[in-house]
Structure 1
Amino acid sequence: METTIFSILGEGKAGHGAIGAVGYRLDQAGSHDSLLHDFEFLIMVVHHGLEETEQRIEHGMSGDSAYQLLHVSSREIERGILIGDQRDSVKYFLHGEIIWDIEGKLMAFRSYINEFGEPMKERRKLKEFAKFLKVYGEAKRYTAEKDLLDAYYCVLQALKHYARLELIEQGILPESSVWEQVRPLNSVVYKLFDELTENSETLEQRIQLVLLACEFTLASKMADCCALLLRILGSRKEAWGIQELAQVQELEHVKDELPLLLRKLVTRSLAQEITKAHKEGAGDSRELRYRA
């Protein structure tokens, strides 16, 4: 990385909570993605405790080089790992060149992310399974309606979530090039990807074949992938309301998918559904609550 780029932003001007800066240079042979666009350099200044309203962006020139400068929160980077979005930001943070590092805090944080420890892995697994479950259901609906192009798209997305689950189970952090990551594993999901995209059978037959495999995956992986949610459901004698679960910090990243996950766990007899009379309410209206 060029000297002029190193000197764009020093430690003293980075602002409160800054722990370090990472620089990434565009591979001229590569594509322009959502963060680099046609900039030659991306610089990320990472902060602990940076509020969303304090995150900043700057476009500039250093000599003949155009750059994009981002101030990002370490919390947002970790959230990107748990949710599985912002894959470009995560890639640049993990693979960029460290420009400066205050007391080794940036390197320590990057090591923590790279280690992809069990708590983080468990939460990411739950999120990917929830996404898999959602698009699998959409694929089944589109197939039943003979809307095969939309069904094909959803099945392909389901396989990508399945592939990420396989990577997570191997202790590998999924990145943007998921098929390149999963190819060396000689996994079931890559064979299914080949069946979907290369098989000579009709489109509907290929979709049905992959849906059948997804149904088996759903049944075999649900208990393991939902271990975090099941543990929380069994953590007390009193059953949980949906709103209570949505407020649990460990489940914040899947609060939108909680209704779907809970209903599937009940359907598969992995969780119990009970009813509780409302304290105040007309008629026989009762609240549905859940426990393991």
Structure 2
Amino acid sequence: MELKNMDLLSGQSEGTAAVGAIAYSRSGERFHGSLIQDFELVVLVVCDTEEIASRIGHYKSGDLRYQIVYAGLHELKSSIITGENNNLLKCLTDGDIIWESDGTLSALREELLAFGPKLQEQKLLHEFACFLRMYVEAKRYIQEGHVVDAYYNVLEALGNWARIVLIEQGLYPDHAVWTQVRNLDRALWKLYEEMTVSSETLEQRVELALLACEFSVMSKMMDCSALLLRVLRSRREPWCMDELLHHPELKFVGEDLPLILRKLVFRSMVKESAGWPSIVEGNGREIRYWVET
């Protein structure tokens, strides 16, 4: 069946605010996954809406079985930064754009493949935010005696560290991050091996990794937080937490933003002032944040 003749060009995409569609197939292979499953063809329909209800359709045309997945443009853009939906990114990078209304999908693909400074800056902040959350959780778990939970969080933190290394090299992190980083940072790879195959106790391995994280990754805090620091410098008036959470350039960081901000304050990279009346009842004063220029 010719892709250009597929029904999705008309009836199946009506009412979805669709801006384009991508067809992804891997002939001669059976492959599995939450999005791909074992269909011969997957068609990703991208819709220009802030939110779109999850919608998947299974169809057959002649001998061809195919799946249509609908995703919001905002979700696709967010996935480029966070890397959280590898299936969507796989469709975007390796699929065929079978139609688009205004070049949006072509521009997104070009941005992802070029992996320019702006996207690198966004991904660095995201990966550092994830690293910091996992690192803090691991320290809390080990202090409370939950060694297995601490071990899991440390492995996640090391994965974020590996992605930071790749981004610093100008490489977009793949889902198989350790294959990418193995020959780029032998010390990090050695630490990962120590975590997974060492004869030391689980607690000793966690303590070793936490120590390495503290001295190696925390030194990257200013570089990884460059986007946040630039936003803080973008005006003379200090910022309240709510303003930063809703800033369009920082929305992808989400609930991890306060954690990064407080860490930057602790390291004296960001200043705080508590001279503003609180918007909630009580005698408290609102803390606002700024950076010296």
Give the TM-score taking structure 2 as reference length: 0.87
Residue number among 6, 9, 17 corresponding to 1:8 in the alignment: 6
Deviation of 1:76 (Å): 2.3
Matching residue of 1:95:
94
Match of 1:287 in 2: 286
- Which deviates further from its counterpart, 30-39 or 154-163? 30-39
> What's the counterpart of residue 142 of structure 1?
141
Partner AA of 1:42 in structure 2: V
SS at the partner of 1:33?
A: coil
Maintained 8 Å contact 2:25/2:40: yes
CA distance in 2, matches of 1:129, 1:164: 9
Q: How far off is 1:186 after superposition?
A: 3.8
Distance in 1 of aligned mates of 2:112 and 2:17:
19
Aligned AA (1:23) = A
Q: Is the 8 A contact 1:128 1:161 kept in 2?
A: yes
Partner of 1:234: 233
Distance 1:108 1:273, change over 3 A: closer
Secondary structure in 1 aligned to 2:44?
Answer: strand
SS at match of 1:184: coil
Report how far residue 55 of structure 1 moved.
Answer: 7.0
- What code does the residue aligned with 2:40 have? E
Structure-1 separation of matches of 2:282 and 2:72? 49
**CA distance in structure 1 between the aligned counterparts of 2:78 and 2:279, rounded to whole angstroms:** 38
Q: Secondary structure at the match of 1:39?
A: coil
Give the match for residue 199 of structure 1.
Answer: 198
Secondary structure in structure 1 of the residue aligned to 2:249: helix
Secondary structure at 2:155's aligned position in 1?
Answer: helix
Tell me the equivalent position of 1:221: 220
**Superposition deviation, residue 133 in structure 1:** 0.2
Q: SS of the counterpart of 2:239?
A: coil
User: SS at the partner of 2:209?
Assistant: helix
Cross-structure match for 1:34: 34
Of stretches 118-127 and 97-106 in structure 1, the one that deviates more from structure 2 is 97-106
Q: Deviations over 1:41-92 (max 9, x none)?
A: 2111335x34523774321122333221123344322211122311211122
- The 5-angstrom pairing of residues 124-203 of structure 1 reads 124-203=123-202
Q: How does 1:102-113 map to 2 (within 5 A)?
A: 106-113=105-112
Cα distance between partner residues in 1 of 2:261 and 2:284: 20
Residue by residue over 1:227-281, the C-alpha shift from the partner in whole angstroms, topping out at 9 and shown as x without a partner, is 1111221222221110111121111111311211111001111111111141677
More deviation, 209-218/92-101: 92-101
Secondary structure of the corresponding residue to residue 257 of structure 1 = helix
Tell me which residue corresponds to 1:271: 270
CA contact (8 A) 1:60 1:68 kept: yes
Query: Equivalents in 2 of 1:211, 1:181: separation in Å?
Result: 22
Amino acid at match of 2:61: S
Is there any run of 5+ residues in structure 1 with no aligned partner, and where?
Answer: none
Letter in 2 for 1:85: E
C-alpha distance in 1 between matches for 2:98 and 2:166: 30
User: Which consecutive unaligned segments of at least 5 residues does structure 2 have?
Assistant: none
C-alpha separation in 2, matches of 1:24 and 1:110: 14
Whether contact under 8 Å (2:52, 2:72) holds in the other structure is: no
Deviation at 1:103, TM superposition (A): 7.7
Query: Are 1:260 and 2:259 matched, yes or no?
Result: yes
- Structure 1 vs Structure 2: percent identity of aligned residues? 44
Q: Is the 8 A contact 1:4 1:62 kept in 2?
A: no
2-side partners of 1:62 and 1:148: how far apart? 53
- 2:242 corresponds in structure 1 to 243
Equivalent AA in structure 2 for residue 286 of structure 1: R
Question: Does the CA contact (< 8 Å) of 1:26 and 1:36 recur in 2?
Answer: no
Partner of residue 21, structure 2: 21
AA aligned to 1:202 is T
Matched position secondary structure for 2:34? coil
